[in-house]
Amino acid sequence: MNYPIHKDADGRWVHTWVRQSSIKTSDMCLERWRNDIFGLVSERIKDASTLGTVCHTVAEDALNVVIDDPECVMPLESIADAFDYYWEEAVPTIEVWNNYTPASAAVAGLEKLTNWHDEVYLQVKPKLVEHTFDVPLIDNDERLVRMTGTVDLVEENRLWDWKFPGRDYTRERWQYERWDVQSIAYCYAMGIPNFSYAVMHPDGVGRMDLERGQQHFDWLREKVSALCRLLETQTGPYPLGDNGWWCSEKWCENFARCKGATQGGA
């Protein structure tokens, strides 16, 4: 079991669980969030997320070539070779095939990286790649909360995140504008107000640019403070958020012993 909170010598709560992904999980289902941050159920390795990880690794290698020598870029053939190498290594580790076969995932991955190369890689000016931050978010008499995360790419005045999904969700930009946690968390942590998603979907590349400032950061603190108070005062189980796609055998590792264990799970 993980211990996401403890008390320091002064009696303040110290929270070590805060990542943008954990905040997003709490928006969907508080009980799933509790299971995740305490490590009560282990996540099985899935095809789509592994494909995304492999694509990220190749992108990281390609961007590091530019950081090492701004006059150089990794040619598309080398990107394809790197993908084949990492994908071959990853296939035996995958436990759940939901969306692909090994062969169809290889085709999709190469297409996504080709689009990333043509429409993103050649345009950006990398300063830092896969940059991990660990910053204080709340520091008062009651609690110390640190937030961690990893930014795919840092430019002089813009942060980037790569997505390699099975569909184009850039049409949902208005939702990202209103409540996207990742862009707010990363802009706060890095002190850079501009954030872009590059979405390599099956039909090409979509881009969403977001600008984040003090009001967003204040709201992030409010959201996280409420979650901290819940953790400090309630042992669980927490309220069950089953009203969405995430509450299913496919997406929640807790499903079999939660909603799936009742008639309501049908």
Of 264, 244, 210, 254, nearest to 31 by C-alpha is 254
Q: How many residues bind ligand SF4 (CB under 6 A)?
A: 13
Q: Does 255 bind ligand SF4 (CB under 6 A)?
A: yes
Of 225, 211, 169, nearest to 26 by C-alpha is 225
Of 163, 160, 169, 167, nearest to 210 by C-alpha is 160
Q: How far is the CB of 254 from ligand SF4 (least distance, A)?
A: 4
C-alpha–C-alpha distance, residues 79 and 152, integer Å: 17
* Nearest to ligand SF4 of 174, 245 (CB atom): 245
Q: How far is the CB of 253 from ligand SF4 (least distance, A)?
A: 8
Q: Does 32 bind ligand SF4 (CB under 6 A)?
A: yes
Q: Does 185 bind ligand SF4 (CB under 6 A)?
A: no
Residue 239: strand, helix, or coil: coil
* Nearest to ligand SF4 of 31, 47 (CB atom): 31
Q: Does 31 bind ligand SF4 (CB under 6 A)?
A: yes
Give me the residue label for tokens 């300063």.
127
Give me the residue label for tokens 């501009």.
194
Residue 50: strand, helix, or coil: helix
Q: Does 29 bind ligand SF4 (CB under 6 A)?
A: yes
Q: How far is the CB of 4 from ligand SF4 (least distance, A)?
A: 17
Q: Does 33 bind ligand SF4 (CB under 6 A)?
A: no
Q: Does 38 bind ligand SF4 (CB under 6 A)?
A: no
In a 10 Å sphere around its CB, with 0-12 CB exposed, 13-18 middle and 19+ buried, how is residue 174 labelled?
exposed
**Binding-site ranges for ligand SF4 (CB under 6 A):** 29, 31-32, 240-242, 246-247, 252, 254-255, 258-259
